[in-house]
Amino acid sequence: MRYYMISLGCPKNVVDAEGIGVLLDTAGHQPVFQPEEADILLVNTCGFIESARDESIQVLGDLSAGKRTEQRLFAVGCFAQRDGALLAEQVPGIDGVLGTRRWAEILSLVDQMDRQRTKKTPVTMVGDPSIMPLQEVHRVAVQGSSAYLKIADGCSAACA
């Protein structure tokens, strides 16, 4: 399958998006640069401040509006972790929600969605991971010989 991914927000999301890409690539999926060419649409959401949440909803809504019947739209990342049900309510075309602590389960989510093509409610995977520890996911250098080192998943501070 071909996938299109957009990552919004902070460098932590960039690291997670790279990890998701590595997992998808390793499983034989191919990245594409246009959403209309993809079978899987992924938005790595940001839920840090209101404008970031609004941008996440906007991007998801735009992709949902242009989505073909056979395409699957996934909301991943911290906004998906924090308010996955709200995202699914505000953007009816979302097929799956994957939280920050569960992104290593992207292949399981894709497989589950492939088997449940007629399911009308989004598959939601948030909370603590049930498979592969995150440290086992190969990281790639994002900027030449340097890379982000992520020291935490999510955030326990309720910023205002």
Q: Is residue 153 part of a domain?
A: no
Encode pLDDT of 47-67 as tens digits. 888 999 999 999 999 999 999
Cα–Cα distance between 127 and 110 in angstroms, integer? 18
Q: Is residue 154 part of a domain?
A: no
Q: Is residue 27 part of a domain?
A: yes
Q: Is residue 131 part of a domain?
A: yes
Q: Is residue 28 part of a domain?
A: yes
Encode pLDDT of 82-135 as tens digits. 888 888 888 989 988 888 877 888 888 888 777 666 556 666 666 666 555 545
- Total number of domains constituting the chain: 1
CATH code for position 57: 3.40.50.12160
Q: Which domain holds residue 112?
A: 2-136
